[in-house]
Chains A and B, each alone.
Chain A
Amino acid sequence: MSNIIEIKNLRKIYEDGVEVVALDGMDLIIEEGEFLAIVGPSGSGKSTLLNMIGLLDTPTSGEIWLKEKNITKIDPKERARLRNRELGFVFQYHHLLPEFSAVENVMMPLLIAGVDKKEARERSITFLEEMGLGDRLGNRPTQLSGGQNQRVAVARALANHPSIVIGDELTGNLDSKSSDMVYDLLRELNREMNQTFILVTHDMKMAEKTDRILRLVDGRIVCEMLREGDGFVTRDLCELEEDHT
């Protein structure tokens, strides 16, 4: 398996009157097809890390490599292109476009990529049907439940067949039944399509459905756990407890 992401000595410092070190010299390698969870207390730098990987933000220093290409300092057009083709985002709140129906929301990344409208619609319908939303295609976000909207958001993140799917607390706003459903869905997609999933969560029950768990504290990885059968083994010395945020 090849490395899809390599992070080298990544630092992010916010200068906002006081200096906040959000990421403190992080090294991380993520392999293609991984299903990875990032956990940690609030303010530990999880979102910051995801935004770096997602090319929404730039580091203060250090490097990010995507598919063996240094993407730390690329021009805005190329960043936008990579966000469109290689990355799929799911946020805590679905962040669907309110004026667009479910299928139109899923079509959007495809239209941005320049896919023809008819084809985009067909592909989007297929995705939504897989998500169990085949009978909700024309509904606007206000006409769908939180769980349904989040599934639309997942479909949208997947629409362009990105190599990496990023979720920041993507089930944080859902009841446990809905979040189970979304996780199981992602898990299945990960197995079928070999897409890489990086999911931030503060819910250990969810994290334990992944293959690898990273625990962040104060902008550093303090603990790494790997799946072995039904359980996890720790690589380094660390304690895992549920974070209350």
Chain B
Amino acid sequence: MFEWTVANRHILGNPRMVLFTVLSVALAVAVIMVLMGLTEGYRENLISNTVENSPHLIVDPKEDEDYITLYRTLSKIILDHPEVEAVSPRLIGKVAAKYKDNVEGVNFVGAYPHQEDKLLKVQEDMIWGDYYDLRFKMHSAVVGTDLAEDLELKRGDDFRLIRQNRSVRVTAAGFIETGTGLDQTLVYLPLETAQDLLGEGDVVSEVGVRLTDIYAAPVIADDLNIETRYKAQSWQEQSRDILEQLDTQQVYSYLFYLLIFIISGFGIANTMIMIITRRTKEIGILMAMGATRGSIMKIFILESVILGPPSALLGGALACVAARVIGTIEVPSEVYIATHMTVALDLETFAYVTLFALLVNLAAGIYPAYKASNLDPVEAIASE
């Protein structure tokens, strides 16, 4: 096929033009892959965060009630389910923490350490101290690292937790770092201390459940909702809003990606038109030698399409490098749900983006190629 030969030779004969065309598409591919990877990485982080830092299943009080009183019985019922790995009754709430002149808002979690640790692997995140100490030291607390920093709280310092007219004095017995935004507000308390602070007696606000299979959560939640009048919610349901929001955002993102491709498509079309203008005379000669209009068209579409695969490959490589680099940058927990952003690249995305890059190259080549094939041979040969 001589069209292939000519197209190839044209491409190799124009290294600079080719380089810029390839780069433009490669950049588009890389940007899109990284952006898609960031969204996907965010979703993955969100899920693993949810699953690691909050219970797989939460059982809330009955309707019209604020607290669970029979939490020991409820825990037993829940533990009867074979997929349940751990349960932990928890009393949670918001209070103010005061140390010297520093005051910060706090989300406290009152729980039995041996149960809560099974629920959320609290001990693994401790950077100083022992969570299990809370079993014996009634007036002690485990504090999130960022919160401790904000309060200027040192190891072993006493500070106050204040709720309306009640307050308790606790000792910082440990620091915890989950790597999420929780570190700014979290305080773990012994369950009894939390109950004292609340003043509602021997109650909890929820029972957290850990499962052996996180995807069984909705089914078990349904079971519990049928068995008891407490309200069980799976982690999927709890983060449904944010997951749905991500999906909506994704639609806008696709429009944005399309735009990026269209822009790079115009770049290619422009280059192709330049190439064809420079080669007008040659096109005339090829026609004089008997090349059909179809052949001329084929040559220039090929030239445009040939650049697709290397562009996609280069773009994929750039995306991988960018993903690596982005992965090493530490981000503040206010900005992102983990200490490092994840760019989740997968082959399927790459395949789709590549396919799209090819289509863009093809589409960008059609009009210039059509113009080339419609040149008048006499004028083309006479052109300068």
Query: Could you write out 10 A-B pairs with CB less than 8 Å apart?
Result: A56-B288, A56-B378, A80-B291, A80-B292, A83-B288, A91-B285, A98-B13, A99-B13, A108-B286, A109-B290
**Residues 126-164 of chain A, each 1 if its beta carbon lies under 8 Å from chain B, else 0:** 000000000000000000000000000000100010000
Decide if A113 touches B290 in the complex (CB within 8 Å): yes
Q: Which of B6, B281, B290, B381 has the most CB of A within 10 A?
A: B290
Decide if B290 touches A83 in the complex (CB within 8 Å): yes
Q: How far is the CA of A87 from the CA of B13 in the complex (A)?
A: 29
Decide if A108 touches B289 in the complex (CB within 8 Å): yes
Contacts A54-B288, A108-B286 known; list 10 others, CB within 8 Å.
Answer: A51-B378, A56-B288, A56-B377, A80-B290, A91-B381, A97-B6, A97-B9, A112-B289, A113-B290, A156-B289
Which residues of B, 259-297, contact A by the 8 Å Cβ criterion? 281-282, 285-293, 295
Q: Which of A54, A85, A109 has the most CB of B within 10 A?
A: A109
Chain A: interface size category: 20 to 34
**Residues 1-28 of chain B, each 1 if its beta carbon lies under 8 Å from chain A, else 0:** 0100110011011000000000000000
Decide if A95 touches B290 in the complex (CB within 8 Å): no
Q: Chain B contacts of A54 at CB under 8 A?
A: 288
Q: Chain A contacts of B289 at CB under 8 A?
A: 83-84, 89, 108-109, 112, 156
Decide if A81 touches B290 in the complex (CB within 8 Å): yes
Q: Chain B contacts of A91 at CB under 8 A?
A: 285, 381
Decide if B293 touches A112 in the complex (CB within 8 Å): no
Q: Chain A contacts of B378 at CB under 8 A?
A: 51, 56-57
Q: Does A118 contact B (CB under 8 A)?
A: no
Q: Chain B contacts of A231 at CB under 8 A?
A: none
B376 to chain A, nearest CB (A): 8
Contact of A95 among B5, B10, B285 (CB under 8 A): B285
Q: Chain A contacts of B293 at CB under 8 A?
A: 76, 80
B75 to chain A, nearest CB (A): 80
Q: How far is the CA of A109 from the CA of B285 in the complex (A)?
A: 10
The dominant DSSP class at the B interface is helix
Q: Which residues of A contact B (CB under 8 A)?
A: 51, 54, 56-57, 76-77, 80-85, 87, 89, 91, 95, 97-100, 108-109, 111-113, 156, 160
Nearest 7 CB-CB pairs, A to B?
Answer: A84-B290, A111-B2, A99-B13, A80-B292, A83-B290, A99-B9, A56-B377
Q: Chain B contacts of A95 at CB under 8 A?
A: 281-282, 285, 381
Q: Which of B13, B285, B381 has the most CB of A within 10 A?
A: B285
Q: Chain B contacts of A81 at CB under 8 A?
A: 290
Decide if A97 touches B292 in the complex (CB within 8 Å): no
**Residues 362-380 of chain B, each 1 if its beta carbon lies under 8 Å from chain A, else 0:** 0000000000000001100
Decide if A80 touches B13 in the complex (CB within 8 Å): no
Decide if B287 touches A56 in the complex (CB within 8 Å): yes
Q: Which residue of B lies closest to A77 (CB)?
A: B292
Decide if B2 touches A112 in the complex (CB within 8 Å): yes
Q: How far is the CA of A83 from the CA of B12 in the complex (A)?
A: 28
Q: Chain B contacts of A76 at CB under 8 A?
A: 292-293
Q: Chain A contacts of B10 at CB under 8 A?
A: 99
Decide if A99 touches B12 in the complex (CB within 8 Å): yes
Q: Chain A contacts of B295 at CB under 8 A?
A: 112
B144 to chain A, nearest CB (A): 67
Decide if B282 touches A112 in the complex (CB within 8 Å): no
Q: Chain B contacts of A112 at CB under 8 A?
A: 2, 286, 289-291, 295
A23 to chain B, nearest CB (A): 14
A113 to chain B, nearest CB (A): 7
Q: Which residue of A lies closest to B5 (CB)?
A: A111
Decide if B2 touches A83 in the complex (CB within 8 Å): no
Q: Chain B contacts of A100 at CB under 8 A?
A: 9
Decide if B2 touches A108 in the complex (CB within 8 Å): yes
B317 to chain A, nearest CB (A): 28
B381 to chain A, nearest CB (A): 7
Q: Which residue of B lies closest to A52 (CB)?
A: B378
**Residues 227-245 of chain B, each 1 if its beta carbon lies under 8 Å from chain A, else 0:** 0000000000000000000
B370 to chain A, nearest CB (A): 14
Q: Which of A97, A98, A100, A156 has the most CB of B within 10 A?
A: A97
A49 to chain B, nearest CB (A): 12
Q: Chain A contacts of B281 at CB under 8 A?
A: 95
Q: Chain B contacts of A84 at CB under 8 A?
A: 289-291
